[in-house]
Chains A and B, each alone.
Chain A
Amino acid sequence: MKSLMKVVLAVTMVMAASLTSPLSQAEAKTNTATYAMYGDIKDWDPSIAFSLEVMMLANVYEPLLWYNPPESEEQFSPALATSWSVSDDGLTWTFKLREGVKFHDGEPFNAAAAKASIERTKSMKKGAWYIWASVDSIEAPDDTTLVIKTKKPQPIDLIASSQYGAYMFSPKAAEKGTDWFNEGNAAGTGPYKLRQWVKDQQVVLEKNPEFHGGWKEGNFDRIILKVVTENATQVQMLKSGEADFISLVPADIVDSLNKEEGISAYTVPSWKNSQFLINTQKAPTNNKKFRQALTHIWDYDTVVNDILAGHAEVARGAVPATMWGHNANIEPPAFDLELAKKLIEDSGVPEDQRKITIAYIGTSEAYKNSALLFQENARQVGVEVELLPGEWGVIWDRAKNLETAPNLQSMTWWPTYPTPNDWLIGLFRTEDKALFNLSHYSNPEYDKVLDAGVELEGSDRDAAIKKYHEAQQILIDDAVAIFYADIMTRIARQSNLEGLEANPAYAAVFFHKVTRK
């Protein structure tokens, strides 16, 4: 009996002792970088993908051009196009394409493939297809020349560098269709190839030895994009060295993380902003006064200074202050419970109907805490708030459908390509079937002003900006969202990494440029 216990004890101790040595670098066979994503790839089709996929897209696929970080000498770097020019009337764009490039499936990249990629994306009318809406025709006179014609002057160079909807993919792959992509397939020209996808667990990318950009000593041979929904887990993985980068960095621990040995945590300017979209068609938020009241229940300063730990600014309207075309004259609503109370009384919404729902990504500490703060403040003015935390894919699907949509929906937006109209169109222009207009906002007058601005953007930017300013003011007047923060991008990574550059145009890490010291 006692001897049995001794054996059990001894075995346990030996086991424990042999297990405690963590994995050392020497045991890792392949030079690997691990990135913790907070959600899995939803759409594998590069014509459709329009959300968290950019991390995969920007490493597996290439557009014609890359947009450089704001302070660079040149606005663009060549990607699959080596040079480009626009005619004097601004209607004809000619791209010279890179020679000898092959897609991961062995198909050659040429003008016909480029034409097919853009035309497929445009005609599918999904995801970011609308960036090509102004394109009239595309021609491929020879293998290395692509000509894009528009009816009105449009910034096609900007559009061609978009982080969604502008990637070039193998025509063979396109033939196999969206279902084939969604089984976990990809065929781009980028530095990394897709090796493995385990749904809801991880995406493994592997070095493409034929990449036209070449390879340097110390580049990563393999990238693991690991799905880790809990931010606490991500932080632990970073601390233990299991992850090199994490995507969910709680704002309030950026500074303390940075003090940890071997970890760099900091913020960089971005074009991202966060808002809670208010459903304009669902009771009681279909009432404008009631919506305005909600914008005064939000405690902007506490959210920005405490919950986001100062790594943000209080927003002025729908377009962030870092983006051109931002309307700095907008007077943002202030946190004022008295005013809110009065607006609620004026709204005529009966007391027993002052109940709203608020949906947000449940694993985000910032959303969660903001929602709890909002709930507590709303309680003080007699508005009952039901919290609906969830996974992004689920709450997004629910928000698209008016029947299942919440009254308030969390949203963080970054532009497809650098233009203010991305917020104004993507989030608020009338949509037949809601995609990101989760306010379900439809205002013909707003649409008209906005469309006028879009038309002018290629020819007369100043006139376009005027229209955009007007549109931003309409959104404030209609209280279609609680615009609460222009946020900085929070980065947390191992400090032994080199070659990272902050580029607000892409919500991605360009692993090909990164090396480990």
Chain B
Amino acid sequence: MIKYVAQRLALMIVILAGVMVVTFALSRVLPGSPIEMMLGHRPTQEQIDLARAKLHVDEPIYTQFSYYVADMVRGDFGESLRTGRPVLEDVLERMTATFEVTTLAVILVVLVGVPLGVLSAVKQNHLVDHGARSFSIAGMALPVFLIGMMLQMLFYGELSWLPLQGRMNSEILLDYEFPRVTGLYLIDTLLAGQWLAFKSAAAHLVLPVLTLSIASLAVVTRITRNTMVEVLAQDYILTLKAYGMRKRRIYFLYALKATLIPMLTVIGLTYGFMLGGSVVVEYVFDWPGLGGYVVGAITKNDFPAVMGVTLFLSTIYLSVNLVIDLLYYLVDPRLRAT
């Protein structure tokens, strides 16, 4: 076990180092002077000198890289040009907003996509199956921003049921204070017993979460169906059937268990997809998370912020996949044997 964990961890560190090479290359070797990228235009001489010292530009590139890695590992992503604060502070502040949306979306996707996939596999080539498959093929072809805009048109424009964008009504946010315990508004407002604020937070969450879910739902349904179909054709399932075991028990106890491992992979991938997709979704819904932060940073030439978020999200993504690898290990006895 320890050996396995160590192995995976080592691999992750190697890849993370590689990721840093890429972000380092993007911020130093590519166009423009790194100093300009760090300070924006028209810095003072004093600022330039400070930046030169900080970036160690007079030293060889590999030395620069080692300083860079040291900074990153300490969580020093530099200062945002736009907010003038350390990028890490901005990132931590906005992370929870992204986390709230993506996590709810993952939960929704698993709750809906997995049963749908199972149903589709069980009722192979029936109407349900065709419906589910058409849905997933169509879902994969829909641009995320279009889904978001269509939902806005329907639920805001036509029905006026839900707010257009934002995370909470700004007046409620000021009048009904609640301590930021978890940073997740849905939980914090409940903890503080602020029902009105909770309602506002929930209403603002619906459309972004739906948007992010619809896009990933297609993938999850499809993969669940395919793996389930494979499992259902296996001998032991057929045997169980021959013994006359109840179908529901077979599907949900034996078959689904066998699909657990591929499902874990899917959830890992979905999470990555959502972190990427959140950039577009947060832009559409003016959501104050990391995705919106990145887009804002790009339009404002805030290069340290872009790279900081990239590195941060990649680390999260790698960590999620590491956790999933470890879960594999716990779930799959074959891995444990080795």
Contacts and interface: CB of A to CB of B under 8 A. Distances in A.
B interface bracket (residues with beta carbon within 8 Å of A): 35 or more
A207 B69 CA distance: 49
Nearest to B201: A19
Nearest to A237: B164
Nearest to A32: B171
A339 B160 CA distance: 53
B165 interface: yes
A390 B164 contact: no
Given A1-B119, A401-B41, A401-B42, A19 B203 contact: yes
Interface in A394-413: 394, 397-398, 400-401, 404
A394 B288 contact: no
Interface stretch (A23-31, A166-174, A364-372): A23-31
Interface in B11-69: 40-42
A34 interface: yes
A11 B215 CA distance: 22
B300 A393 contact: yes
Contact of B286 (A8, A29, A233, A390): A233
Nearest to A1: B115
Interface in B81-109: 82-84
Contact of A397 (B40, B164, B174, B199): B40
A1 B301 CA distance: 50
B42 A202 contact: no
B41 to A, nearest CB: 5
Contacts of B82: 200
A283 B171 CA distance: 50
B112 interface: yes
Nearest to B175: A29
A205 B261 CA distance: 55
Contacts of B182: none
A23 B300 contact: no
B83 A199 contact: yes
Interface in B173-212: 174-176, 196, 199-200, 202-203, 206
A27 B161 contact: no
A20 interface: yes
B170 interface: yes
Given A15-B202, A30-B175, A398 B41 contact: yes
A394 B301 contact: yes
B169 interface: yes
B171 A34 contact: yes
Interface residues of A, number: 42
A224 interface: yes
B102 to A, nearest CB: 19
B175 A28 contact: yes
A27 B164 CA distance: 20
A362 B296 CA distance: 12
Contacts of B206: 15-16, 19
Contacts of B248: 1
Contacts of B286: 230, 233
Contacts of A422: none
Contacts of B161: 16, 19-20
Interface in B257-296: 286, 288, 296
Contact of B299 (A5, A202, A224, A394): A394
Contact of A27 (B163, B196, B288, B301): B196
A226 B299 contact: no
A20 B282 CA distance: 21
Nearest to A206: B174
Contact of A204 (B111, B160, B174): B174
Contacts of B171: 23, 28, 30, 32, 34, 224
Contacts of B175: 28-30
B150 interface: no
A23 B172 contact: yes
Given A4-B115, A32-B174, A394-B299, 15 more contacts: A1-B115, A19-B162, A22-B160, A32-B171, A182-B84, A196-B174, A202-B170, A204-B174, A236-B164, A240-B164, A242-B169, A390-B300, A391-B299, A394-B301, A404-B41
Interface of B: 40-42, 82-84, 111-112, 115, 118-119, 156, 160-165, 169-172, 174-176, 196, 199-200, 202-203, 206, 248, 252, 286, 288, 296, 299-301
10 contacts: A4-B115, A19-B161, A23-B169, A23-B171, A29-B176, A199-B83, A222-B174, A362-B299, A391-B300, A401-B41
